[in-house]
Amino acid sequence: MTGEDQTPDPCGPETAVRRVPANPARAAHESVRRARRQVGFSSATRVQSLIRAELRSGELRPDDQLVEDDLMRRYSASRSAVRDALQVLAAEGMVTRRPRHGTNVRYGMGAVALQEMFPLASGRRTDRVTVMPGTQQVISAPPALAHRLETADTRLLRYEQLITLWDMPATARTCYIPLEHLPDPLPSNVVGVSAEPDGWDRDFEELFGLPLAEIVSTVEATTADASTAADLGVLEGAPILAWEALLRGADGRPRILAYTYYRAEMIALTMTERKLPGQPS
């Protein structure tokens, strides 16, 4: 045989090695892997996630300046990845970008532990977290809410509350409580949740005279209606997190049905799971 298909005699003075053409897709994959090993994986999404993590931890705080060259070195990212990430954060309102002035953090992020219902700012409840005075009103009990609260009471107390983070509206909460569980006359501030770690448990016991035994929670991603958007200072249809929590007392009866809405770009959910025996969760 002649040409490229000719196989040399392995016993001859010179042995040639036939090169099999590489698979194009595999070659491209290997090329990307080599590039990542050399300069790091430059992804705008990754850079955005890292910046958000530093906002949650408090390493980055409001008014801090974000210098592109510094971010490139810190995250091993390309300039285009850093710029794309900053543009996304600017569109969300978390940073401000001005020509010849650079980029600055506008406000921080909060973290909500899954076992809690109160936003944390930079790891501490009292760090720029403000609980605004709430409003309360007695309303006729919608059948669906009465069913969730397992009550035959025809009236509910509705309590509404706004919580700010870094002086920005971050959380709006509405609580429903059957009047049968409340003292008469009603206190002026029924669900005044404090900024202390045990605030919700303490307030529950003071209000109902028995310990808080269980919180059944459901969290989902949704969009803001006109009313919630106005409360949170976002556009109607903006992404938000919705948290439904049913609070039961030690007697097993539901006492509070709470709906809490979080600005999606300002709040992250966190969880710490203990694996060692005897360690609290």
Q: What is the pLDDT of residues 137-156, one digit of tens each?
A: 999 999 989 999 999 999 99
Under the banding of pLDDT at 50, 70 and 90, the label for residue 66 is very high
| Contact present, 65 and 103 (Cβ < 8 Å) | yes
* 3 part of a folded domain: no
Under the banding of pLDDT at 50, 70 and 90, the label for residue 36 is very low
Q: What percent of the chain has pLDDT over 90?
A: 24
Residues 122 and 55 in one domain: no
What domain range is 65 assigned to?
Answer: 33-105
Domain ends where: 105, 125, 147? 105
Give start and end residues of each alpha helix (H) in the chain: 24-39, 44-57, 68-75, 79-92, 143-148, 199-208, 226-232
Residues 47 and 185 in one domain: no
What's the total number of domains in the chain? Answer: 2
Q: Does 179 have pLDDT greater than 70?
A: yes
Residues 153 and 169 in one domain: yes
Q: What percent of the chain has pLDDT over 70?
A: 73
DSSP-derived 3-state class of residue 165: strand
Q: Quote the tokens at residue 235.
A: 């556009």
Residues 61 and 159 in one domain: no
What's residue 50's pLDDT?
83
Q: Is the peptide bond before 185 cis (omega within 30 degrees of 0)?
A: yes
CATH code at 67? 1.10.10.10
Neighbour-count burial of 197, counting CB atoms closer than 10 A to its CB (0-12 exposed, 13-18 middle, 19+ buried): middle
Q: Does 157 have pLDDT greater than 90?
A: yes
Under the banding of pLDDT at 50, 70 and 90, the label for residue 8 is very low
Domain ends where: 105, 140, 160? 105
* 131 part of a folded domain: yes
Residues 44 and 150 in one domain: no
Model pLDDT for residues 264-275, shown as the tens digit of each residue: 888 887 777 776
* 23 part of a folded domain: no
Residues 91 and 125 in one domain: no
Model pLDDT for residues 197-213, shown as the tens digit of each residue: 456 788 888 889 999 99
Q: Quote the tokens at residue 133.
A: 């005075």
